[in-house]
Amino acid sequence: MLTASDTAPRPAVADPPPPSRGRRRRRSLAALWPYLLVAPTVVGTAFLLVYPLVRNTVMSFQHFGLGELIRGGATWVGFANYRTVLDDPEFWTVVRRTLWWTGLNVVLIMVLGTLIALMLNKLGKRMRLALMSGLVLTWATPVIAATTIFQWLFQSRFGVVNWLLVKLGFASYRDYTWFAHGGSTFAILVTLVVWQSVPFAALTLYGGLTTIPAELYESARIDGAGAWETFRLVTFPMLRPLFALITSLEVIWCFKCFAQIWVISEGGPNGATTTLPVYAFQIAQSLHKYDLGSAVSTLTVLILLGALVFNLRRMFREEGAQ
């Protein structure tokens, strides 16, 4: 892919014939072009990404409350904010909850996504098209539209889920208020995130499945491999990079999921759905402790750093392989 341009003999670094002065000037001008082309990106990143990150880090080492926000003049406090956050047992509860939330979502997404991808691969043409259209429809549903839909589905009085559960014989779900209980709100949020994330995983994995040569399956069949063995010995090894990619992306996405949780429960009831991004936002926006919020944000990024660096290394390795 990229080799074509890499081997292209264009702005060669060292050309044998000695260039005249005018040509040299033109060449040095030409050498500037790539830098001019990437300049807008670099400037944008500096102002809109690097600066906020730096500001966040600086704020986490300052005393920065409502007063400092309005009047300025924040004072340096060293690691005091981090000590406050790390000494708070609630922070650790939130960390544990976030890990549980991320793990549960990612496992469900990957298992369901894989199953649906395998199913797509085996379906007839028409059924496959129908299911793929359904997945695309789900994928296309905006997060906020989905949150309103789920609030309606699980509404206590006229919600269709309660109606269905009562019909199925679970009479205790008549007028059940899902969003008043921590556990059920958590479950609904997991359902929502999984429902929205599975299409990406399933369609991407299906795309990968179609690239596996049929001969591999054929020879596995001749060797007498069963369904599970085929998946373990043929499908999974072939798609390992794709699995790694999707898993790491889903880990990042689920870990920093904010909009769904904030809109449906704002972290409640009783903090049962407060994950780290929600926690940081609550501290900063509701309690006006911007310093503590920044410290939590920084810690969130640090916890996520493993997954982020893994992803970055993978991207860069692919880059080098090209």
Looking at beta carbons only, is 13 or 16 nearer to other proteins?
13
Looking at beta carbons only, is 49 or 111 nearer to other proteins?
49
Distance between CA 159 and CA 190 in Å, rounded? 18
Shortest distance, CB of residue 234 to other proteins, whole angstroms? Answer: 10
Shortest distance, CB of residue 146 to other proteins, whole angstroms? Answer: 7
Q: Which residues contact 162 (CB under 8 A, 6 or more apart)?
A: 154, 155, 156, 173, 174, 175, 176
* 108-110-113 Cα angle (round to 5): 100
Looking at beta carbons only, is 186 or 277 nearer to other proteins?
277
**Alpha carbon 283 to chain centroid, angstroms:** 23
Distance between CA 243 and CA 241 in Å, rounded? 5
183, burial (CB in 10 Å: exposed 0-12, middle 13-18, buried 19+): exposed
Looking at beta carbons only, is 93 or 219 nearer to other proteins?
219
Shortest distance, CB of residue 41 to other proteins, whole angstroms? Answer: 4
Distance between CA 133 and CA 234 in Å, rounded? 28
Shortest distance, CB of residue 210 to other proteins, whole angstroms? Answer: 10
Looking at beta carbons only, is 42 or 111 nearer to other proteins?
42
Shortest distance, CB of residue 262 to other proteins, whole angstroms? Answer: 7
